[in-house]
């Protein structure tokens, strides 16, 4: 059985992080988060004077989870930390450092699902109508950020990572690099293609030829997460009373509005870049209101009729 010294631990932790980055193709942000969770668990074991990292049993995991919950850490965050440990011990099992994964039988804590309320079609339409009269670079850029997110359903990071070569105006297709470096192509609506042409003409006036990022700040450099969030919040705060106005709500609206209009769940799954239907099905609850309305007005036994 392998045990860790201090220096040995950090070497093994680096091997784990490299495994996540190079073999599993996790983003650097995710890999570093997993690394931080493992380090937190190691500190817990040291404080509790419990077993070493590779000699624990499930009771140590339960103690760690209990302590996190006692500190009022949310169930969602606890589940994420335990998922990091599960991946760590799975890796150690893979390389032969341990004989079994102590988290093999662990079940995640149940988390109450929060209903994400999408923007209404009218709210989005009110914003995008401004594109027809937008003129300056800032305004055109801000509106095309919103239009891309709503008409393609891509994630905020995917939006930021778009390059000039990601957009094929001739074929009206946008190529997106999603999670785990999986590439997918999304059709570009005619309205977006028109807005894109307008934006690219203005972009060429302020951006150096070496900058490959499609969407840039006023200074001509690539966008960053808080910038995108501020754009969405500033525009929708004026037309929506929703508590949460974020890039993800636009992605949620994209999926919900497609499903409301009768789009096939598998097609929406492919557009969103989900690995399984289970991830896409979280958007179907919002379409239930529309389904109930149709059902109530159409069924012979409905009191609405």
214-263 confidence digits (pLDDT tens): 999 999 999 999 999 999 999 998 887 776 788 999 999 999 999 888 88
Domain ranges of the chain: 6-94, 121-296
| Catalytic site residue from 86, 157, 163, 179 | 179
**Average pLDDT, whole number, for the chain?**
86
72 is catalytic: no
124-171 confidence digits (pLDDT tens): 999 999 988 888 999 999 999 999 999 999 999 999 999 999 999 889
248 is catalytic: yes
- pLDDT score of 286 more than 90: no
170 is catalytic: no
**CATH number 1.10.150 given to 6-94:** yes
To the nearest 10°, report the CA torsion of 141, 163, 20, 276: 70
251 is catalytic: yes
pTM above 0.85, yes or no: no
- CATH superfamily, domain 121-296, is Intergrase catalytic core (1.10.443.10)
Phi/psi at 163 (nearest 5 deg)? -110, 170
Distances (CA, A) of 173 to 36, 62, 161, 266: 39, 49, 16, 19
Alpha helices (runs of H) in 174-264, residue ranges in sequence order:
190-203, 225-236, 247-260
| Catalytic site residue from 141, 156, 251, 269 | 251
230 is catalytic: no
62 is catalytic: no
For every residue of 34-53, DSSP letters joined together read HHHHHHHHHHHHHHTT---T
């Amino acid at each position: 059985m392998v045990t860790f010294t201090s220096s040995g631990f950090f070497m093994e932790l680096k091997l784990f992080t490299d495994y996540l980055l190079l073999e599993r193709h996790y983003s650097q942000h995710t890999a570093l988060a997993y690394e931080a969770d493992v380090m937190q668990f190691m500190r817990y074991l040291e404080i509790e004077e419990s077993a070493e990292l590779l000699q624990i049993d499930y009771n140590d995991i339960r103690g760690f989870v209990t302590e996190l919950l006692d500190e009022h850490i949310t169930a969602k965050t606890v589940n994420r930390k335990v998922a990091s440990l599960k991946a760590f011990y799975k890796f150690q099992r893979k390389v032969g450092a341990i004989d079994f994964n102590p988290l093999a039988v662990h079940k995640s804590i149940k988390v109450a699902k929060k209903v994400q309320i999408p923007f209404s079609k009218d709210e989005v339409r009110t914003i995008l109508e401004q594109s027809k009269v937008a003129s300056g670079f800032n305004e055109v850029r801000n509106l095309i950020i919103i239009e891309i997110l709503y008409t393609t359903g891509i994630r905020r990071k995917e939006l930021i990572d778009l390059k000039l070569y990601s957009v094929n105006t001739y074929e009206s297709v946008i190529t997106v690099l999603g999670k785990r470096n999986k590439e997918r192509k999304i059709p570009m609506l005619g309205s977006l293609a028109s807005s894109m042409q307008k934006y690219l003409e203005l972009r060429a006036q302020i951006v150096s030829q070496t900058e490959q990022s499609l969407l840039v700040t006023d200074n001509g450099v690539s966008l960053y997460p808080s910038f995108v969030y501020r754009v969405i919040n500033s525009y929708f705060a004026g037309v929506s009373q929703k508590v949460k106005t974020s890039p993800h709500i636009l992605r949620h609206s994209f999926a919900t509005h497609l499903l409301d209009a009768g789009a096939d769940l598998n097609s929406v799954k492919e557009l969103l870049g989900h690995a399984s239907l289970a991830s896409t099905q979280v958007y179907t609850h919002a379409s239930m209101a529309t389904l109930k309305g149709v059902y109530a007005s159409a069924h012979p036994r409905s009191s609405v009729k």
